[in-house]
Structure 1
Amino acid sequence: MARSELGAYLSDRRAQLGPDEVNLASTGPRRVPGLRREEVALLAGVSVDYYIRLEQGRERTPSAQVVDALAVALRLGEDGRQHLFRLAGLSPRDRVAAVPDRVDPSLLSLMSAWPNNPAIVYNRAFDVLASNAIADALFHDWTHSRNLMHVVFTDAAARTFYRDWHDVARNSVAGFRLGYGKAPDDPRIQQVLGELLNESPEFAELWSSHDARGKALERKRFEHRDVGPLTLTMQTFDVRSSPGQELVVYHADAGSPSSEALTLLGTLAATQRSQRGG
């Protein structure tokens, strides 16, 4: 029987943990990195045979208690725990229709009132559904793509634009997989996934790790072709009026060089719009 997504996820998470991270004594050299299957079984309180059957796809319907124990044993965060429950068929997957492409007009109005705070709204496929003027300027008017996954993995300039590209790439794939787990039959998610697997070996390698987690408060470092280096704090919010949409807002520390660069970027963007008659 082919390995299930559940089995692949368990196997990958197991490989990411060393015995010292779960307070187990290391007993000699290991042929492969990470915990042994019997160690995960011990930590989760299940039999070794049962755990092996889970990884191999011969058992696909663990109880909620077992899934919870595995999440604790594998040190999964809340996003990873929810993803594990979904893979085990214990959490309802969202309906595709629940992710509209239309952004609430009141949210658009709010975003437009932030001249120095880049803000975007995107869906689970990472399509940017809306952006304010300063975000357009930050992302070079989306000349490559309005899909953030394509921006990261298929734009040749991305490795310069994102100064910590490898971290951005890893986090982007983890967020994309979380959305995929919620709505794996969404045709747009399937389309973007297929394109990236075909076009980007780096994406394919990261996708195979089965990491799944959402965005949190973090700092991103950019190298913008017009205003130079920027370090921005990024906050992500669920759009409650449109489940499946997320709002991301960036800001710079007051009085910092990045704040000055954002102000300059806004001025340049306004000048360009004026010259275009927009």
Structure 2
Amino acid sequence: MNTVGRRREQLREFLRDRRARLTPEQAGLPAAGRRRTPGLRREELAMLAGVGVSWYTWLEQGRDITVSAEVLDAVATALRLTAPERGHLYTLAGLNPPCHTADSGPAINAQTRNLLDAWGTRPAVLRDRYWNVLAHNDIAHAVFGYDTPTPNCLVTYFTNPRYLALHDTWSAAAPAVVAAYRADSARCPADPGFTAVITELRTRSTEFARLWSRHDVGTPTQAVNALHHPEVGELHFDTTTLTLADQPDRHLVLYNPRPGHDTSRRLEHLHRLRLAPPA
């Protein structure tokens, strides 16, 4: 069985299972008489979703039919699917998963806070989907010199003198940074959070405006990050971005000293200068 055939088979099994789990009482329908099978009938589900019985039957059978996001949303709502289940339904139906607009909120759980702090003398940052910094360890603040309560990683990269001081390194990495942000923002094209960041940077950085107009797209999971710190000089990092499994709109960015540079020693020196307790 090819990929499309297997996906349709999974769609059929998923829809049947979720329909069988939903009782008439849960759906707000009268439970009239005994039922030979558990859950809602196809006719009832189609009525709740506002679609034709034949169309829903074909969808549940995994037939090759045209499916719109609006109709799929109606089916998902009728089935009372969770956000992960709704995304799964989209994938099985051959559509891009919907944008999850729900935000995890400002709270940082203890496990994530401990992980940030455990990164020790290496910077670690927790950011949201818009690349706003939600939390960081102490050395990250000392390295990047955040000067606003909720800095944005993209804005910082294009406006912070510490990055701009290493012009050649910065210029080489900037296109990939912008391409990664375009890929992230494309998942939620109407999200005002992305629009606000893009609008701000277009007015503050001509180089960002130029790169954004190129419409390059990329999703690098690792990148080289370099800056010039006013107290300890050049710092070069390998960066890795990890998505929190239970909060997919939260991303942990870990900075590790890049081999071949003196970054580790400089970080230790910065830690003693700024963060170590007095003797």
CA distance in 1, matches of 2:118, 2:112: 10
- The 5 A counterparts of 1:115-134 are 115-134=120-139
> Hey, what's the Cα distance between the residues in 1 that align with 2:259 and 2:157?
28
Residue type of the alignment partner of 1:246: H
- For 1:108 and 1:163, the matched residues in 2 are separated by 34
State the partner residue of 1:181. 186
**Aligned-partner Cα distance in 1 for 2:161–2:220:** 24
Q: What is the root-mean-square deviation in Å for CA atoms of aligned residues?
A: 3.0
Structure 1 residue identity aligned to 2:197: V
Q: 2:174: which partner in 1? A: 169
Indicate the percent of aligned positions where both proteins have the same amino acid: 30
In the alignment, which of 158, 162, 175 is matched to residue 163 of structure 2? 158
Relative to structure 1, is the Cα distance of residues 157 and 260 closer, same or farther in structure 2, using a 3 angstrom cutoff?
A: closer
Pick 1 or 2: higher relative contact order, CA cutoff 8 A, min separation 6. Answer: 1
Q: After the TM superposition, which residues 188-227 of structure 1 pair with which residues of structure 2 at under 5 Å, given as runs? A: 188-227=193-232
CA distance in 2: counterparts of 1:152 and 1:270, whole angstroms: 24
Q: Which residue of the partner structure matches residue 153 of structure 2?
A: 148
| Amino acid in structure 1 at the alignment position of 2:238 | T
Pick which of 257-266 and 152-161 moved more.
152-161
Residue 47 (structure 1) aligns with: none
Q: Which residue of the other structure, out of 66, 73, 96, is the alignment partner of 1:91?
A: 96
2-structure distance, mates of 1:256, 1:107: 29
- Would the alpha carbon gap of residues 162 and 116 (structure 1) be closer, same or farther in structure 2, given more than 3 Å must change? farther
Is structure 2 residue 144 aligned with structure 1 residue 139? yes
> Is the 8 Å Cα contact of residues 127 and 252 (structure 2) preserved in structure 1?
yes
Structure 1 position 253, deviation (Å): 5.3
Give, in angstroms, the shift of residue 99 of structure 1: 5.1
- Give the drift of 1:137: 0.8
TM-score under structure 1 length normalisation: 0.60
| Partner Cα separation in structure 1 for residue 206 and residue 168 of structure 2 | 20
Cα pair 1:229 1:258 within 8 Å, conserved: yes
- Higher mean C-alpha displacement, 173-182 vs 214-223: 214-223
* 3-state secondary structure, aligned to 2:245: coil
Give TM-score scaled by structure 2 length.
Answer: 0.60
Separation in structure 2 between the aligned mates of residue 251 and residue 161 of structure 1, nearest angstrom: 18
> Residue 96 of structure 1: SS of its match in structure 2?
coil
CA distance in 2: counterparts of 1:224 and 1:116, whole angstroms: 15
Alpha-carbon distance in structure 2 between the residues aligned to 1:96 and 1:133: 30
Larger Rg: 2
1:62-97 deviation per Cα after TM superposition (whole angstroms, max 9, x unaligned): xxxxxxxxxxxxxxxxxxxxxxxx9xx931232211
> Structure 1 CA distance, aligned partners of 2:139 and 2:168?
19
Equivalent of 2:241, from 218, 236, 242? Answer: 236
The counterpart of 2:113, out of the listed 97, 108, 131, is 108
Q: Note the alpha carbon deviations across 1:142-172, whole angstroms, 9 max, x for none.
A: 0267111211223345311676111332122
C-alpha offsets along residues 106-141 of structure 1, whole Å, 9 cap, x if unaligned?
11111112221210011221111111011111102x
How many residues align structurally?
189
